[in-house]
Amino acid sequence: MTDRPRLYLSPPHIGDHELALVKEAFATNWIAPIGPHLEAFEAEVSSLVGIRHTLALVSGTAALHLALQLSGVRPGDEVWCSTLTFAGSANPIAYLGATPVFIDCEEHSWNCDPGLLAQALDDAARHSRLPKAVVVVDLYGQCADYEPIVAACSRHGVALIEDAAEALGARYRGKSAGSFGRAAIFSFNGNKIITCSGGGMLVSDDVELIRHARHLSTQARDPAPWYQHSEIGYNYRLSNVLAGIARGQLRVLEDRVLARRRINRMYQDQLGALPGITFMPMTDSSDGTTRSSRWLTVIQVDPALSPVTAEELRLVLTEDNVEARPVWKPMHLQPVFAGTRVIGGSVSERLFANGLCLPSGSAMSNADIERVVGLIQRKMGY
Ligand SMILES: *Cc1c(COP(=O)(O)O)cnc(C)c1O
């Protein structure tokens, strides 16, 4: 090991306003899962994303749980989900006693393969076995190809839920990430593009869905002077204190996106010519109407062309106290989902086998990037 300072994959990057906003919460005694920061945060995300209704929650996972439940998912239903993702995309399916079915990604975007999805939905419709909902993930900050995905889901009347946990600030054909499904979720966990230490958001144009979600997220209290409940609720509401942090972070979101995009470009400039190294394909348009947030910079190391493997690079970085991680292990390869049906799977398996996520935090200096680049170049003999 080394005494070099730790370089994290994606640490929090706090701006100039968060502390003042938290102090305001203390000064006004709004230390509760209710208060002015919470309402302001919801309104700000609503106007940023261009979605009418928003609900701030304790996590992105909680938001997805409510989105699925309020899309009518019940025990025994099928819910289809991108396989190349974090467990937070799939666990809520299990919370509801539903059956996950995982679906492979396409080479072009690393997101849910629209052709595969459309064909599988057509097949399922013929056998009257349509899923109740489909969870599509915007991987590493890049939107999935929603035009054909939305068309396939609406043709079959299947609810589309967008998992935009990694994609706040991204766009697809002029619309913001988070605006493509019946509902969408964001995460403000510590490693995400902006953070309030832990938090999430459910967004939808469906006023009734958000109203019901708000009710369920606060223990489903009926309007009565005594505590009365007609449904099982959850304690999922975000704290007003954390909403203060989140509001400060929202003010610097665009800076954070631009910083991550710049870091990605520097890695590409300096590593793109090495044998066997390629980057996550970018679906960005030149006019900016489609853009990734580049939450993480991710490379593929082709073992047939590169003198080293992705795992060897990861170990070299780890030895120098640099955190790098494999691409998400596909859900259909997870022990907890053993035996689950998967539609396709070989693309995500290869991306996992050869993939490596590089440190991508928006506070990284040029020297930090050169440290990572230098370690990779030296290991590869350059
Ligand atoms: C982080 C993440 C989640 C879960 O969000 P939390 O706020 O950590 O619960 C869900 N899906 C994806 C793709 C994520 O990256």
Establish if 207 belongs to a structural domain.
yes
Whether the per-residue pLDDT at 254 is higher than 60: the answer is: yes
- Domain stop point among 250, 267, 297: 250
* Structural domain span for residue 293: 254-379
Question: Are residues 226 and 135 both part of a single domain?
Answer: yes
Question: Are residues 183 and 134 both part of a single domain?
Answer: yes
Q: What is the pLDDT confidence band of residue 326, given thresholds at 50, 70 and 90?
A: very high
163 lines ligand 1 (CB under 6 A): yes
Q: What is the pLDDT confidence band of residue 351, given thresholds at 50, 70 and 90?
A: very high
142 lines ligand 1 (CB under 6 A): no
- Domain count within the chain: 2
Question: Are residues 33 and 143 both part of a single domain?
Answer: yes
Distance of alpha carbon 74 from alpha carbon 70, whole angstroms: 10
Question: Are residues 187 and 318 both part of a single domain?
Answer: no
Whether the per-residue pLDDT at 3 is higher than 90: the answer is: no
What pLDDT does residue 1 have?
A: 57
- Domain stop point among 217, 250, 283: 250
> 163, 185, 201, 242: which to mutate for ligand 1, most atoms within 8 A of CB?
163
Measure the N-to-C terminal CA separation of the chain; round to a whole number of Å: 23
CATH code of the domain in which 210 resides:
3.40.640.10
Give the Cα-Cα-Cα angle 375, 380, 382 (nearest 5 degrees). Answer: 85
Establish if 120 belongs to a structural domain.
yes
Establish if 3 belongs to a structural domain.
no
Residues facing residue 185 across a β-bridge: 163, 202
Whether the per-residue pLDDT at 121 is higher than 80: the answer is: yes
Q: How many CB atoms lie within 10 A of CB 53?
A: 19
**Tens digit of pLDDT for each residue in 47-87?**
999 999 999 999 999 999 999 999 999 999 999 999 999 99
Establish if 5 belongs to a structural domain.
no
Question: Are residues 263 and 202 both part of a single domain?
Answer: no
10 lines ligand 1 (CB under 6 A): no
Distance of alpha carbon 379 from alpha carbon 377, whole angstroms: 6
The ligand 1 atom nearest the CA atom of 64: 10
Question: Are residues 176 and 319 both part of a single domain?
Answer: no
Question: Are residues 237 and 105 both part of a single domain?
Answer: yes
Establish if 170 belongs to a structural domain.
yes
Question: Are residues 229 and 321 both part of a single domain?
Answer: no
Count of all residues that appear for the chain in the document: 382
pTM: 0.98
Establish if 275 belongs to a structural domain.
yes
What pLDDT does residue 2 have?
A: 72
Establish if 8 belongs to a structural domain.
no
137 lines ligand 1 (CB under 6 A): yes
> 189, 238, 357: which to mutate for ligand 1, most atoms within 8 A of CB?
189
174-186 CB burial, b ≥16 within 10 A, e <16? ebbbbbbbbbbbb
> 64, 86, 296, 325: which to mutate for ligand 1, most atoms within 8 A of CB?
86
Q: Whose CA is nearest to atom 10 of ligand 1?
A: 88
Whether the per-residue pLDDT at 38 is higher than 60: the answer is: yes
Question: Are residues 83 and 174 both part of a single domain?
Answer: yes
Task: Give me ligand 1 centre to Cα 330, in Å.
Answer: 15
Question: Are residues 336 and 275 both part of a single domain?
Answer: yes
The ligand 1 atom nearest the CA atom of 138: 13
**Tens digit of pLDDT for each residue in 133-166?**
999 999 999 999 999 999 999 999 999 999 999 9
Question: Are residues 355 and 284 both part of a single domain?
Answer: yes
CATH code of the domain in which 281 resides:
3.90.1150.10
Tokens, residue 315: 């170990």
- Domain stop point among 201, 226, 250: 250
Mean pLDDT (the chain) is 97
Whether the per-residue pLDDT at 357 is higher than 80: the answer is: yes
Q: What is the mean pLDDT of residues 95-106?
A: 98
Question: Are residues 183 and 236 both part of a single domain?
Answer: yes
The ligand 1 atom nearest the CA atom of 166: 15
Establish if 236 belongs to a structural domain.
yes
> 68, 138, 142, 187: which to mutate for ligand 1, most atoms within 8 A of CB?
187
